[in-house]
Structure 1
Amino acid sequence: EQFTDLIAESLSKPKGRVAVELLPGQRITHGGSRNPVVIVKVESIGALSSDDTIRHTQKITNFCQEVLKVPKEKVIISYYDLAPDKVGVNGSTVAATRL
């Protein structure tokens, strides 16, 4: 729930619009090492300008360091800016519900 709160606050989105999938125990190597690594994929409609992603990256990385004890060089974040007509929810697209 802490991570959901962090993402919702950083993206300025309601918590109800934030989905978090945690996959602990995955076998991931990064840089040839099996030390813990965190891979974060952020998909959002808006809130992903260059300045936004820098701010989000700082917050996510700090969270991973402080709460998960994962060093910052082992935190990898990818951002995907989604078009409202490409996201379906509640039986329609986000674009259609905005009409």
Structure 2
Amino acid sequence: MAQSSCRLPAALALRCSAPSRNLYLSALRMPLVTVASNVPDQKFPKDFNRQFTNVLAEATGKPAARISLLVTPGARLTHGGTNEPTCLITVKAIGAFSDDLNVKYSATIADFMHKSVGISPEKCIIQYMNLEPENVSNSGTTMKVLMSKK
């Protein structure tokens, strides 16, 4: 169980222990985000990656420097069998999601995609994926190993 000093959301309480809490919190700051859209590249703002990274950082409270973002415009992508502007977004992180947070993130992301690229919220499909620390690597090792060193 979580120690009383743990201030993480309840969904993360089992992973919050004094020896690994700081590194674990650091791992939460490493969201891996992909955006695929059928909107052509020239219709994306030139600084889309910077703007979206900043939106994600503000929404999650994590430093922009820790967010990895891959954007694939002009994808052969349909939703509901139409060619209307559509996007599929995947946000992956270690234990960073909950029902309430996902609702907040979804509203923020859908609003940004609508304002910046013209994709209606109904055509903005977002998938949140919790990653296990042994399946994420940084600095030549896994997050599980890095977390065990703290």
Hey, what's the Cα distance between the residues in 1 that align with 2:59 and 2:143? 21
Structure 2 unaligned blocks of 5 or more: 1-49
Structure 1 unaligned blocks of 5 or more: none
TM-score scaled to structure 2, two decimals? 0.62
Deviation per residue, 1:52-75 (Å, 9 max, x gap): 111100100010111111111110
What's the CA shift for 1:12? 2.4
Hey, what's the Cα distance between the residues in 2 that align with 1:69 and 1:3? 14
TM-score scaled to structure 1, two decimals? 0.92
SS of the residue 1:64 aligns to: helix
Where do residues 80-99 of structure 1 align in structure 2 (5 Å cutoff)?
80-98=129-147, 99=149
Number of residue pairs the alignment of both structures matches: 99
Which of the residues 30, 35, 53 maps onto 1:4? 53
Hey, what's the Cα distance between the residues in 2 that align with 1:9 and 1:45? 18
Runs (4+) of structure 1 exceeding 4 A deviation are none
Query: 2:63 aligned with 1:14, yes or no?
Result: yes
Deviation per residue, 1:13-51 (Å, 9 max, x gap): 222221111111111111110111011000011221111
CA contact (8 A) 2:92 2:129 kept: yes
Hey, what's the Cα distance between the residues in 1 that align with 2:85 and 2:118? 9
Larger Rg: 2
CA contact (8 A) 2:85 2:118 kept: no
How many percent identity over aligned positions? 34
Hey, what's the Cα distance between the residues in 2 that align with 1:6 and 1:77? 15
Letter of the aligned partner of 1:84 in structure 2? Answer: P
Hey, what's the Cα distance between the residues in 2 that align with 1:89 and 1:72? 33
SS of the residue 1:56 aligns to: helix
What's the CA shift for 1:83? 1.4
Where do residues 17-96 of structure 1 align in structure 2 (5 Å cutoff)?
17-96=66-145
Hey, what's the Cα distance between the residues in 2 that align with 1:11 and 1:59? 10
CA contact (8 A) 2:93 2:130 kept: yes
- Cα RMSD over matched residues? 1.1
